[in-house]
Structure 1
C-alpha cells in the first residue's frame, strides 16, 4: 500500500506524529510527502491520500477531493474538522474519517480495518507508546508533552480533540526522543501543550517537581536551548507562581511567557468558561515580570455576547498590562466546529475597537492576526 500525506501550512504538527507512528511500527510501508495536488497526481493510483485540515481549509480541500476521487485515489481525513464534523467530511468525498487520536487507528487502517469513521475519542492512546516526531526521516516538530485539557473553554477545540483528561508524555520518553534529535544535530527543545505549567499534574494545579525534572534532564542530555512557556506551550494565568518561574529560569532560553488572558471582563471569562479571573491575569503578569521574563498576553475580541462595557474593561486591562511592560497578542473570536460556541455567530468588531487595536500595534505593544481572523470568523459561521 502507498500512502500519500498531503502537507500544507496548517497541518505539519498533525501529520508528523502519524508518519512517525507508521515508520516506527510498519517501516516497510511506502509513504510519500507532498505539498500540492500536482505532486499527488505524479504518483499513480492505487494509493491512499491522507489529509488533515482545519475548518477554514474546507473549500480548497473539497476541490482537491473532487479531482482525486475521479482519478481513483482512496481518501482519508483526520484533524480538527474531521473530529468535529465527521459526517460532513464523508459527504465531502472522503472514504474514511479519523476522529481524535489518530496514531493507533491509522495503524489499524494499514492492517486492513475499514471503518467509515475511526473513533479516537472513545479509545484514547498512551502517548508514550508513539514517537512525537520521526528523526529517521528528518521530520521534526515541537514535542507534544501533554494531550488533553480539563477546562473545556467554550471557544476551544482542545478538550474535544485531545480529551478532558490530560495525558502527559513521560520525562523518560521526552528525553529518549530528544536524544534521537541530538544525534541529528537538533539541540533546541520546544513543546506542544495546552498549558505548560500543568505538565505532570492532573491539569488543575502546578507540579513544580515534574517541570524541574523534565527541564533538568533535557539539559543533562545536551539540549543547548529550551523554550518552555512560549508558543506553542502557553500558560494559564492561575498556574503562574513565583516558585515555578524561578524553577524554569534555571533552564530556559525564552524571554517571553505566553499568558492566556482572553478577556479583561470577568463576566466574559465566566461565559467562556475560563475558570480564572482578571485579577489572576494581572497577578501572573507581575510574577512573570518580577522573574525577568516578558509576558505576552493573549486577548480574544468579538465574542457574540461581548458588550461595550466588556470591551472597555478589556482595554483597561490592556492599558494596565502595557504600562507594566507586557506585550499583547490579539485574536478575533472564531466559532470553531465542535465547540460550545459553534453556533453563536461570527465576531463583529466595532470601528473604535479596530482603531484602538491598530493604535496599540503601531506603538509596538500589540500584534496578532486579528484582522485575518475577523474574515475567518464569518467564513466559519457560514459553513
Structure 2
C-alpha cells in the first residue's frame, strides 16, 4: 500500500518530523489510494472531515496531531485510525502493520473502531527526542524542535495534555547536527528560555551552552525566543536577555502574556501575574529588544472589567513601542476549556482593538 501524507499549510512542522520515518512516502494535496495520513489542528477539522467523508478513493485514513489526539472519538467518525499524541514511534509501526496485513491492536498509542466500539491500545512512554529527526533534510524544513512538554497546566492549552507536564530537551549534539542544514536557526519550544530546565526554574548555563555552540558554527543566524517559540514572562531576566544580546541575531522576543487581568490569569492557572509581564517588557526595552506580546480574549467568565485590564496593558505595551498579537479564544479538545463558550468581547473594547488593528498596532485573530 502506498503511503501518502496530506500536505496542508498548518501541518508542515508535523510532516517535517514524520516524513523521514516512513520510506517511500508521497506528499499529496488531495486523497489518493493507499494509506492517507493527516495531521491537523482544531481550526481545520471541518474542512478535513468534509474532505475525507467526500472521498471516493480506496484508502485507509489515519489522523494525528492536535485535534485528533484531543478528540479521538469524534475523529473516528471520519477516520479509520487515530495516532494519539507523539507519532514518531506509533505511526511507522501502524503503517508497517497495515502494509503487512497484521492486527493493529498490537500497536500501542492508537485508537480505532471495532464492531461499533472505540478501542484504545494503551499509552506509550514519552519519546527520546534525540532518537528522531526534527525535520526532513531532503524535503520539508521546519524550525528545530529543542524541547517538548510543559509543566504548567494552563486551562486553554493542549501542550501538557498531549506531550506531558515534564519538559524533555533535545541534546546540544543533536541540535547541532540538524543546524548544519540551516543558515537561519529558528526553534520550537513551549518556552525557549526553559531549555535544559524543568520548565519552572530557568537554567541559563544550559541555554548558554546551546547558544555558544551554535554561535561557533560559521554563517549561522540565531533567532532564539522568537516565533514559533515564545518565552514565559517570569523567565525574562537580564541574564537571559544578555545571552540574546551576545549570541543571537533577533532584536525581538515573543512573550506569552495571555491576559492583563490577574483574576483571569489565576483562574486559568497561568502561573504568572500581569506585573510579571510589565517587568518582562521593561527589561526587553532596557536591552533594546522589542517585545512581541500575545494576549487572548474570551476566557470563561471574563468580564468587561477584565477585558479593560487586558486592553490597558496592550495600549501600554504598544505605546512604549512593543508589538501585540491579540487572539480570540478557541476552546481546544482535551483541555479544561474544551466545552466552554468563549466570553464575548465588549463593544467598547472591540472598537478600540479595531482601531489599533487599522492603525497597524495590533495583529491576531481577535476580530470575532
Q: TM > 0.5 between the two?
A: yes
Partner of residue 97 from structure 1, selected from 82, 87, 98? 82
Q: Which residue of 2 aligns with 1:174?
A: 175
> What do the CA deviations read for 1:262-281 (whole angstroms, capped 9, x no partner)?
11110000011111001100
Q: Which residue of 1 aligns with 2:45?
A: 58
CA distance, structure 2, for counterparts of residue 223 and residue 155 of structure 1: 39
SS at match of 1:33: strand
Q: Which residue of 2 aligns with 1:81?
A: 67
Q: Which residue of 1 aligns with 2:26?
A: 32
Pair 1:67 & 2:54 matched: yes
Residue 121 of structure 1 and its aligned partner are, at CA, apart by: 5.3
Partner of residue 285 from structure 1, selected from 281, 285, 289? 281
Q: Which range moves more in the overlay, 222-231 or 288-297?
A: 222-231
Residue 20 of structure 1 and its aligned partner are, at CA, apart by: 2.2
Residues 151, 274 of structure 1: 8 Å contact kept? yes
Residues 154, 269 of structure 2: 8 Å contact kept? yes
Cα distance change, pair 168–121 in 1 and its aligned pair in 2 (3 A): farther
Alignment of 1:223-242 (within 5 A): 223-242=219-238
Residues 101, 121 of structure 1: 8 Å contact kept? no
Q: Which residue of 2 aligns with 1:6?
A: 6
SS at match of 2:5: strand
TM-score if structure 2 supplies the norm length? 0.91
SS at match of 1:331: strand
Q: Which residue of 2 aligns with 1:18?
A: 18
Q: Which residue of 1 aligns with 2:147?
A: 146
Residue 351 of structure 1 and its aligned partner are, at CA, apart by: 1.6
> What do the CA deviations read for 1:49-92 (whole angstroms, capped 9, x no partner)?
00011122222212221233x43211111011111111111111
Q: Which residue of 2 aligns with 1:131?
A: 133
Residues 187, 222 of structure 1: 8 Å contact kept? no
Alignment of 1:351-366 (within 5 A): 351-366=347-362
Q: Which residue of 2 aligns with 1:214?
A: 210
Gaps of 5+ in 2: 98-102, 112-119
Residue 304 of structure 1 and its aligned partner are, at CA, apart by: 2.4
Residues 145, 191 of structure 1: 8 Å contact kept? yes
Residue 218 of structure 1 and its aligned partner are, at CA, apart by: 1.1
SS at match of 1:243: helix
Q: Which residue of 1 aligns with 2:95?
A: 110
CA distance, structure 2, for counterparts of residue 32 and residue 8 of structure 1: 13
CA distance, structure 1, for counterparts of residue 219 and residue 365 of structure 2: 32
SS at match of 2:255: strand
Q: Which range moves more in the overlay, 203-212 or 230-239?
A: 203-212
Residue 363 of structure 1 and its aligned partner are, at CA, apart by: 3.2
Pair 1:190 & 2:192 matched: no
Gaps of 5+ in 1: 23-28, 375-383
CA distance, structure 1, for counterparts of residue 58 and residue 96 of structure 2: 21
Cα distance change, pair 273–234 in 1 and its aligned pair in 2 (3 A): same
Residue 122 of structure 1 and its aligned partner are, at CA, apart by: 4.2
SS at match of 2:316: helix
CA distance, structure 2, for counterparts of residue 65 and residue 365 of structure 1: 40
CA distance, structure 2, for counterparts of residue 247 and residue 274 of structure 1: 26
CA distance, structure 2, for counterparts of residue 316 and residue 64 of structure 1: 43
TM-score if structure 1 supplies the norm length? 0.88
Residues 13, 135 of structure 2: 8 Å contact kept? no
Q: Which residue of 2 aligns with 1:379?
A: none
SS at match of 1:250: helix
Alignment of 1:318-357 (within 5 A): 318-357=314-353
CA distance, structure 2, for counterparts of residue 50 and residue 58 of structure 1: 14
Residues 53, 81 of structure 1: 8 Å contact kept? yes
Pair 1:247 & 2:243 matched: yes
CA distance, structure 2, for counterparts of residue 241 and residue 161 of structure 1: 29
In proportion to residue count, which structure has more helix? 1
RMSD: 1.6
Residue 120 of structure 1 and its aligned partner are, at CA, apart by: 8.4
Residue 222 of structure 1 and its aligned partner are, at CA, apart by: 2.3
SS at match of 1:322: helix
